[in-house]
Amino acid sequence: MEMIKIGLLGVVGVLLAVYFRSVKAEYGIYIGAAAGLLIFGYTVQNLSFFMNEIQVFQSLLRQDNGFFRILFKVVGITYVCEFCAGVCKDAGYGAVGGQIEIFGKVMVLLTGLPILLSVVETIGGFKG
């Protein structure tokens, strides 16, 4: 049922944005961004349940290596970058949107380095 609500919010937001874009272009951009922010807020609100379940799962693990924390950072980075780049591209600033996407990819790479180092250490431990 929640997916239907979000889908309808997105469709209504896009239809309003298309209508107002023909009247005044910047209104369409503002309405599209507002609809995106509402959906983003609703998504973040629903992530709290998921976070609680992951914390229970993490408490069952014997080590606290922070992999779940890194996973959530990476997911957050990609979602925010995708949203911001989409808004820039819809506004006609595709180059800015592309730069946001490149920055997001670099940040994901940097955020995931501890996992890569852990894998390399684990592989090195098998040889020794």
Q: Where are the domains of the chain?
A: 1-60, 62-128
Amino acid letter, residue 61: L
Please, are residues 98 and 118 in contact by the beta-carbon 8 Å criterion?
no
- What's the pLDDT score for residue 64? 63
Read off the DSSP letter of residue 92.
T
Please, are residues 14 and 86 in contact by the beta-carbon 8 Å criterion?
no
Q: Does position 58 have pLDDT exceeding 80, yes or no?
A: no
Between CA 85 and CA 63 the distance in angstroms is: 37
Between CA 89 and CA 96 the distance in angstroms is: 8
Residue of higher predicted confidence among 50 and 61: 50
Please, are residues 74 and 108 in contact by the beta-carbon 8 Å criterion?
yes
Residue recorded with tokens 């925010």? 80
Please, are residues 58 and 64 in contact by the beta-carbon 8 Å criterion?
yes
- For 2-24, write each residue's pLDDT tens digit: 889 888 888 998 889 888 888 88
Mean pLDDT of 103-127: 88
Please, are residues 27 and 20 in contact by the beta-carbon 8 Å criterion?
yes
Q: What is the pTM of this model?
A: 0.69
Mean pLDDT of 101-120: 91
Quote the radius of gyration of the chain (alpha carbons, Å). Answer: 20
